[in-house]
Structure 1
Amino acid sequence: MLHLRVISPPEYTDALVRMLEADPGVTHLTVAPGIALEPAGDLVQADVAREGANKVIADVKSLGIVEHGGITLGPVTTVLSDAADRAERATPGDPTDTVVWEQLLKETHEESTLNVTFLAFLTIACLLAAIGVSTNSPVTVVGAMVVGPEFGPLAALSVALVRRNWRLARRSVIALAIAFPLAMTITLAATLVWERFGWITTERVIDAHNVDFIYQVGPFSLVVALLAGAAGMLSLVTAKSAALIGVFISVTTVPAAGYAVVAAAIGQWHRAFESAGQLAVNLLGIVVAGVVVLELRPRAGEESGPVGRFQRAIGMRTPLDR
């Protein structure tokens, strides 16, 4: 379940409470009049079945509370309550398969922000990838994959396309369009210094066969990107952080950027272009897969989705049959 916390101006509280009481997916409803100081108002709290969260949030927002109060929504890890069980049974859908859009939009909005931290992580990741390529070290390349923060804007772009949120889409594209060239430029400067010192040579990079997978574009390049993008989006909407780490290690976005820089620095332009192609394939595949996953998953408050209809078609029992 999710915990809903609303700071409501007193003139809105009665309507808010009646609305929440009438929703079968809301339970543990409490009201503390006049307890909120900034913004001033009443504190209204409740637990909400995840399946019905979108409807509840939309109803609360329709009162204008966002402009004059505040809404906070967060996960509840453990609930021991018959009332909570009844609320979940009364709400169509499956909590595991539910996408709570306001929660997802907020999370991806933060992850798609172009700031110093994002640029720093991406630059460090590209530098690690360049070192991995130069030293023929797959372990270092994997480290670059894990450090890279690029999945955040890619996931945000998928969400933005599904929700037609063009402001979020623009924010994500700007983050990627600025951060990658800047990180690659810094990596190029570092690579030229390493080459001058003799740490990087053409022969060393050409003979680095343990990292050939970074620039060699093949059918599985797109397949891996699609699978990784799907797993990444599933991990976001189900809060499976361990799965997200696996996604980072699966795709060669940052390593491809690093390899392109190293190859360009030593004049291996065909490998640089191949690496750039690998980067483009991975970026596109992740976004496409994210969109497909979001389109297939039922939304909170919906009675069914493509998955639910498929379950019924093959005779599986769904949460609606409880």
Structure 2
Amino acid sequence: MIQRFRQFVHPPTASEREKIVAEISDSAAPDFDFFLLVVLSCSIATMGLITNSPAVIIGAMLVAPLMSPIIGLGLASITGKGKLAESALEALAMGAGLAILLSMIMTMVNRALPFVAMYELPNEVLARTHPSPIDLVIALAGGLAAAYAMTRPNMSAALPGVAIATALMPPLCTVGIGIALGNRSVAGGALLLFTTNAITIAFAAALIFFLQGFSSSRKRSENRKIPPSLMISAALTIVLLVPLSYYSLRFFNEANENRQINDIVSAEVGQLNAELVELNVQRTTDGLNMIITVRTNTPLRYNQVTDLQKEVATALQQPVTLKVNQVLAEQFDPLVPPTFTPTTQFTPTLTLTPTATLTSTPVPTATLTFTPTPGLAEAIIGTMPPLKLYQSPGGPVIGNITRGQSLYLLGEREEYEGVVWVNVMDTEGRVGWVPELYMYSITATPEE
């Protein structure tokens, strides 16, 4: 079989093999040019990952300084050149360490300034934290293509595409980002991806060089046995399938659970005549922490949110902590013109009238201080941004307050983060808290 392959592909001559070995040895050496390309490629890849830019990351892949040492290791395992193996291994180890260190520093600097606010991990970072057997197949095909192209001078145009397919620098930079952020799962997953790519590419390169007639012996036999080094690299590649399969299974189960959570939350939110916009789930030892954003044309009440939390926890059969962000929106249908109804006008319930609790002595109609007893107040905020009604000082939003809306002061005051909050009740009976500085107290006077 090996003989038929060599007859079909026409292996390089002895002089061509020597030239190929010399070129790979030069490119795999840990010299100034190599480390300069590592620094530049790492800088490009790290910035691309932080800014979540695929185009920038592809630019870093094209530089591909780590491909040469890995190909050199594959060649050294077949030819038995100890000096080449030592040089390539040193370049790979030092280059990988330099890339991780540089990406850590760049991430820490970005967090301290920051140039780009990282409120959550970018998708390009997350994409390199869940390696699977598919990544091994990609690395195997890419390594075969890279090694074969290096033995064929007229096929050098294929190398840039191989560099993009078998990405080496972005996973290393993801390791540095994960370490800088203190996220071990990100760093571990990306390190496994880099290890998979490196070992698989080295094995693929060794296989191609063996089939092309490279050998450590000057007497080259057409029917020689497979060298032990090639069998060892093949065994390492097969062993990598174990952690890759584990990561794939865990990721599949997590994705399936996320889909179930999304379906349940969407259905429960729909029961409230609202629409689920965004769902953020964090898994803890105590259960699930959810932050959901819903779009609705009617503000949700506190009891509706608590009922929603209970229904979701019951459906998922595990404890759930829920926070709801509301986006108030009015929906228009071009086929159904809006119809004005009296409900859009002010009703007599908003008219201030004397009550039994008001005094008959004329007093100034406005005062900037609150009395400890319940009273009447009016919102004095402008239209942008609208004032919110909060469940507690600085807590979740439970409704909006318009300019001039009447509120009942319930007499309680609290200070939170340097701001004085007052307990109020609006005309719909909702009880909540608002900053005191937006309130204008009203004391009604009898008509003369």
TM-score (norm 2): 0.45
Residue 219 of structure 2 corresponds to residue 291 of structure 1: no
Q: Which has the higher strand share?
A: 2
- Is contact 1:137-1:211 (8 Å) kept? no
Deviations 1:260-288 (A, max 9, x none): 11122122221011111111111001000
Q: Could you tell me which runs of 5 or more consecutive residues in structure 2 were left unpaired when the two chains were aligned.
A: 1-5, 225-448
Residue 73 of structure 2 corresponds to residue 157 of structure 1: yes
Report the counterpart of residue 244 of structure 1 in structure 2.
159
Residue 61 of structure 2 corresponds to residue 142 of structure 1: no
RMSD over equivalenced CA pairs, Å: 2.4
Report the counterpart of residue 172 of structure 1 in structure 2.
88
- Is contact 1:119-1:183 (8 Å) kept? no
Name which of structure 1's ranges 193-202 and 268-277 shifts more when overlaid on structure 2.
193-202
Report the counterpart of residue 139 of structure 2 in structure 1.
225
- Quick one: which amino acid aligns to residue 168 of structure 2? T
- Is contact 1:132-1:138 (8 Å) kept? yes
Report the counterpart of residue 108 of structure 1 in structure 2.
24
Deviations 1:108-133 (A, max 9, x none): 11011111111111111112111111
Secondary structure at the aligned position of 2:151 is classed as helix
- Is contact 1:144-1:254 (8 Å) kept? yes
Deviations 1:132-157 (A, max 9, x none): 11111111111111112111111111
- Is contact 1:202-1:266 (8 Å) kept? no
Secondary structure at the aligned position of 1:175 is classed as helix
Q: Which has the higher helix share?
A: 1
Question: Matched residues in 2 for 1:221 and 1:134: separation?
Answer: 22
Larger Rg computed on CA atoms: 2
Question: Matched residues in 1 for 2:220 and 2:77: separation?
Answer: 20
Identify if the C-alpha distance between structure 1 residues 234 and 197 changes in structure 2 by more than 3 Å, giving closer, same or farther: same
Question: Matched residues in 2 for 1:182 and 1:109: separation?
Answer: 21
- Is contact 2:46-2:106 (8 Å) kept? no
Report percent identity of matched pairs: 23
- Is contact 2:67-2:168 (8 Å) kept? no
Report the counterpart of residue 256 of structure 1 in structure 2.
171
Q: What's the CA shift for 1:212?
A: 3.3
- Quick one: which amino acid aligns to residue 154 of structure 1? I
Report the counterpart of residue 247 of structure 2 in structure 1.
none
Relative contact order, CA 8 A, sep 6+: which one is greater?
1
Report the counterpart of residue 12 of structure 2 in structure 1.
98
Q: What's the CA shift for 1:259?
A: 1.0
- Is contact 1:129-1:255 (8 Å) kept? yes
Q: Could you tell me which runs of 5 or more consecutive residues in structure 1 were left unpaired when the two chains were aligned.
A: 1-91, 307-322
Report the counterpart of residue 126 of structure 2 in structure 1.
212
Secondary structure at the aligned position of 1:198 is classed as coil
Question: Matched residues in 2 for 1:214 and 1:106: separation?
Answer: 34
| 1:272 aligned residue (187, 190, 194) | 187
- Quick one: which amino acid aligns to residue 57 of structure 2? V
- Is contact 2:171-2:193 (8 Å) kept? yes
- Quick one: which amino acid aligns to residue 148 of structure 1? A
- Number of matched pairs: 213
Within 5 Å, give how 1:164-203 maps onto structure 2. 164-203=80-119
- Is contact 2:129-2:185 (8 Å) kept? no
Report the counterpart of residue 17 of structure 1 in structure 2.
none
Question: Matched residues in 2 for 1:242 and 1:121: separation?
Answer: 20
Question: Matched residues in 2 for 1:242 and 1:201: separation?
Answer: 38
TM-score (norm 1): 0.61
- Is contact 1:138-1:211 (8 Å) kept? no
Question: Matched residues in 2 for 1:152 and 1:232: separation?
Answer: 10
Q: What's the CA shift for 1:93?
A: 5.4
